[in-house]
Structure 1
């Protein structure tokens, strides 16, 4: 396994400075944003797709720093009911898959998206209750008319380009649990899998270790994010899990993101890493930092220090003791 980082953290650094910085920290892999919510500070799609010389120089710089690209990421909502927003997200996703293929990067990360509740809707509608029955009707329409047709086509497109799609299980989007992930994968194809992020599981009340087992049995984990979450029980009692309190009001929220090790201890992260290996994941653990209590540099450094000792670097060849 390799320790990586989602370089959107360092969007204020030049490409060269970012490479120097993360390599000095002992990072082995980088995940690059290509647009959408992460932006494209270090990976310009059109420049790389249309200029072979630039593409080769880009690859060489990464290689010279002893790094690899674990994934290209373009998190957005390609199923947004406003056509202009959806089309822009779809274009970025399509180009990102094409670029990943050219670079030999095996995974593209994004969100499943969330449609509206009918063809003329203006905003996404995320049903989270089984009753009243209106929500079930909305959910059925979204999956049958929007999610499955769109992602079936993208599964086939990615397969032709020898790329897998890692959907981040995130509240507010249609695929947000292991069950919804497997439902979409079954309907659309095996190129669709998870970019599994424990932080979004904890706040939904899902044990990440059990989620790894559920998805790992189906070979459905394509990429992995390392980010932590802390739960504030008094605020949970007041606001519930689906807390709409602004992220900046951390004292009042039911949960908020932390740097790795500051929501759950190192033993928990060791168990997560071990379970990933147990279920066949031997790829990159990509640090994502969205901690409102620490600077980027401090939070990133502490995440590296927490994870490096528990990373499993060498797979066993033979059980010599049996």
Structure 2
């Protein structure tokens, strides 16, 4: 088990490590910029100073922790050039840092382009008709998504790093099908940072998604975050509810901590599915539950996950 440490960004680095280790966890996922920020892991500082890099690695190891992934979720395909440039440069630095830290995975978004070469804003087509939506979608993939990730996915592979794309609504890669499309075009370096919270609100069964992607070897990292779906509000607003997140009483869905959106049987089924498809890496807690404090939400997630995550290797079938 691990945790995405952005929820502890107010804590100094060493204090954060002690807190995580004290909760019984084994791994940390660190933000390196863009949306997650870089409170605990600034690539500019670590790449430019070999002594700081060595000290950073030593501190993590001395606490008995590993770094499961470096995360730089942004939009490198944005038609807003300032966003695209910053997102891309942060991704490149994150890959370089991951190699030096011997971290195998960089977590990010696929990005989403505009609807033509001179667009001012991103465009996320979600319907095949009228036909221009489908034409926009195919233009985006052919001219932007595939060329970008062919170049920079290969760059990551050359630096011995895998790219874990979070399947998140609003971006070009948001479903198992779009993940597999990108992987087919770019290669095995591309895989999913599978976060069930974003699958549930799209109407996707996470267990089925794990089986689909796991059989293809396309799960590189896993986020543990839950979603509560209010069917009465779904009937009003649909699953693509555009209301602000703080409109919690009116939203069709909100993020919850592990076990408070879906019961632990569903979480046990997901963990079992991960084991069945051969995923033997970190389950990283992400906390975005507005109904619980950081500390309470985090500790509830830890307690609930401990009840369903096996620690021992799979047994031989002595009963067969």
Question: Structure 1 length normalisation: TM-score?
Answer: 0.98
Aligned to 1:122: 120
Q: Distance in 1 between matches of 2:194 and 2:257?
A: 16
Report matched runs for 1:1-322 at 5 Å: 3-316=1-314, 318-322=316-320
Q: Distance in 2 between matches of 1:174 and 1:312?
A: 34
Deviation at 1:320, TM superposition (A): 2.6
For structure 1, which segment, 154-163 or 285-294, has the greater mean C-alpha deviation from structure 2 after superposition?
A: 154-163
Asked whether the 8 Å contact 1:228–1:260 carries over to 2, the reply is yes
Post-superposition CA distance 1:284-315 (Å, at most 9, x none): 00000000100000000000000012112222
Q: Distance in 1 between matches of 2:252 and 2:2?
A: 29
Q: Distance in 1 between matches of 2:313 and 2:21?
A: 23
Deviation at 1:82, TM superposition (A): 1.6
Aligned to 2:307, what secondary structure does the other structure show?
helix
Post-superposition CA distance 1:241-299 (Å, at most 9, x none): 10001100000000000000100111111111010000010000000000010000000
Aligned to 1:242, what secondary structure does the other structure show?
coil
Aligned to 1:310, what secondary structure does the other structure show?
coil
Q: Distance in 1 between matches of 2:100 and 2:106?
A: 12
Post-superposition CA distance 1:173-206 (Å, at most 9, x none): 0000000000010011110000000000000000
Q: Distance in 2 between matches of 1:158 and 1:202?
A: 30
Post-superposition CA distance 1:83-109 (Å, at most 9, x none): 221111100000100100011100000
Deviation at 1:123, TM superposition (A): 0.7
Question: Structure 2 length normalisation: TM-score?
Answer: 0.99
Runs of at least 5 residues in structure 1 that lack an aligned partner in the other structure: none
Aligned to 1:251, what secondary structure does the other structure show?
coil
- Aligned pairs, how many? 320
Aligned to 2:267, what secondary structure does the other structure show?
helix
Runs of at least 5 residues in structure 2 that lack an aligned partner in the other structure: none
Deviation at 1:317, TM superposition (A): 5.4
Asked whether the 8 Å contact 1:107–1:163 carries over to 2, the reply is yes
Asked whether the 8 Å contact 1:155–1:190 carries over to 2, the reply is no
Q: Distance in 2 between matches of 1:85 and 1:24?
A: 37
Asked whether the 8 Å contact 1:36–1:74 carries over to 2, the reply is yes
